[in-house]
Structure 1
Amino acid sequence: MNRKNKIVIGLLFSGVFTSGLYAQNTSPYSYFGVGTFNNVDDARNISLGNTGIALEAPDYINSKNAASMTAISSKNVVFNISGIGKYNTISSNLGKDNRFSANFTNFSAALRVSQKFFVGLSMQPATTSDYKITSTIPIEGTAGEYPVTYEGSGGLSNWGVSLAYKINDHWSIGGKVKNNFGKIIRKETITTSSEVEISRDVRYTGFSYNLGTQFKKDFSDNFQLTLGGIVNFGSKLVSKRDVSYTENQDYTNSITTNLSSKDSALPFEMGFGFGILAKERYRLTFDFTQSNWDKIKNTETSEQYYKQKTYGLGVEILPERRRTEKLSETFIYRFGLNYDTGYYKINKVEIDKLEATVGVGIPLKKVVLNVGYGYGIHGFQKNVAIRENYHMLNISMNILDTWFRKRYLD
């Protein structure tokens, strides 16, 4: 990669990495549960409607399905760095509020260690809790109300190790182990004749496991079908809570309690997908996942959980296989649509999400730069109390390197 390309890519990523690790989603909905789940996938997946269960990954790391690593060439080691910038417009009966946030979303690496065995490492910010909400609470025995402010910060991150095995030219399997950890801070400030602040610091830790498989078949020179499936096993999160009460910043009383792992958990999830490649240029992808949030209880907040279903559809247009003279002739174009039913109710209303995306892949020497734009609505139903309309810019850089090359001497 020449000096000019390095400078351009560095400038693109400098704006993404300026915020803290948990500043990815400044949303009032991040108050609920363990926070808002971040989209930590590569910009390619996001631009394809957040699909990828049945996508091969010869030149990037597909975190949707560990089995996809078996497409990596024996000559390549792949590094992935991803980031996101997001501009939210939050609407309610109290008016509108505009917010911008940006951060990195994924750092990972993968390589082939033998003819059929592959390994990968990743670090991702999994959830975000970042909000500030002003409301009132009633004064007991009167018609009056006290002003109260709710603030939150923090979230969960994870380190992961992925393994994949290529059974034959058509079928591969893979799995991933993740260590989830992090702290969420919730503050309530109540203003009466004095000011009382209640702070709850909850620390989480726990392991999660998932399995994946892919099957690929060429039916002709112009038609290829790929099938994929994943299972993410439920994860218990061991929790510890520190609670402090402060009055007028003069008096502080703190207590520490251990939460039951039954009250803090991530759900069992399963999904499947398919991909169709026609004429080696046109790819169609579809994903469906279901998360059993209805089996999870959380005592920190009061929302009601239900079974979550997510649908994704993507279209990718690849360049023609011929000698090219312009960089633009090598571009890869992507379009996607994603619908998420959500997994919790607020005032008996389900909070769903609809998102449309477009993107482009730019192959450079030993680097593939993926850029995607998305527009979404969080709280798509008409009767929600708060609706978020957001614009997002996703950027990922996939670096291809060669290790273990034999040296030849004249």
Structure 2
Amino acid sequence: MEWVVLAAVVAFALVLLVVVVLGLGRLGRSATTVAPPRTVPGDVLAPPDADVDATPEPAVVVPTLERPEKPASRLIRLRQRLAGSGALGKGLLGLLSRDHLDEDTWEAIEDLLLGADIGVAPTQELVEQLRTRLRVEGSADARTVLREELVNLIDPTMDRALHVSGADGQPGIVLVVGVNGTGKTTTVGKLARILVAEDRSVVLAAADTFRAAAADQLGTWGERVGVEVIRGPEGGDPASVAFDAVKEGVDRGVDTVVVDTAGRLQNKAGLMDELGKVKRVIEKLAPVTEVLLVLDATTGQNGLIQAKVFSEVVDVTGIALTKLDGSAKGGIVVAVQRQLGVPVKLVGLGEGPDDLAPFDAGAFVDALLS
């Protein structure tokens, strides 16, 4: 009996020992401390092994590129603006609509055309054509006759296409020239927008190295539409900058390289010779496909003097006529074409980035007569 009791006591003691041991094990595990996540400045949670002293990578800011307006919609808007300053068209229609066209009326028409900077010879031709047609056709609508003769005077047969493509896979090279103050650098920037709107790849050359502001201005134009601008040191060799830009364009296989040149005064023979040098250096790499002369439409006959001198140096192939709204008289379009024998290809009518459009003779006359 005593052995039975002793066995029971031993068994109970063993069970009690097991229970105590298991309890202590659980207690030890529950007492293990887990380090909380550390924080870095700004209350941003970091994993336990994070390096709180690490410098975060700077965010990469991707500039938002602008989407230039398509040329077709530009023509509509620019035509509306030009119509607002159509004093020439209104004056002509008012005189031609008189019941009796006497000599005094025809003299007034001639004075109006001369005052619009059309030029003596074109004015005499237009007046003669109008007199003949209105006398012969009698009941002809004066507005219709005037429109047809003005379009003929501007010459719709001229090739007004911008030659911005090269041959044999080479880029088109557009050389932009003109005196300071005509809006030349701005025109280069706006032309780049037209080309980008047509899905062309473009490189710009800031070859006006004598004005740091010109290179900076062109750089801003390029950044807005994602176009690379090649520039050199201030006061550096313009021909070298132009050469580097064309080489970049050839190496990259871009569609068009547009070269902005320094504004040249027509009475500075040395500077004009330098402009000729720029063209010669460029053509060691690729032919120049277009030479655009930028003229301020408000300068009138003085602009014709500039045009003639530039054409003798670099063989101008087209005119970009800026500031045609406001105080511009409109007739400069006819006069400059007659003076140079080259067409007006681009017109600018405002300060907006897309206020430059291809010139169309019919749309221009319609705007004048609106």
Q: Does TM, scored on the shorter chain, surpass 0.5? A: no
More contact order relative to length (CA 8 Å, sep ≥ 6):
2
TM-score, normalised by the number of residues in structure 2: 0.30
Between structures 1 and 2, the one with greater strand share: 1
Q: Which has the larger radius of gyration?
A: 2
Between structures 1 and 2, the one with greater helix share: 2
TM-score, normalised by the number of residues in structure 1: 0.28
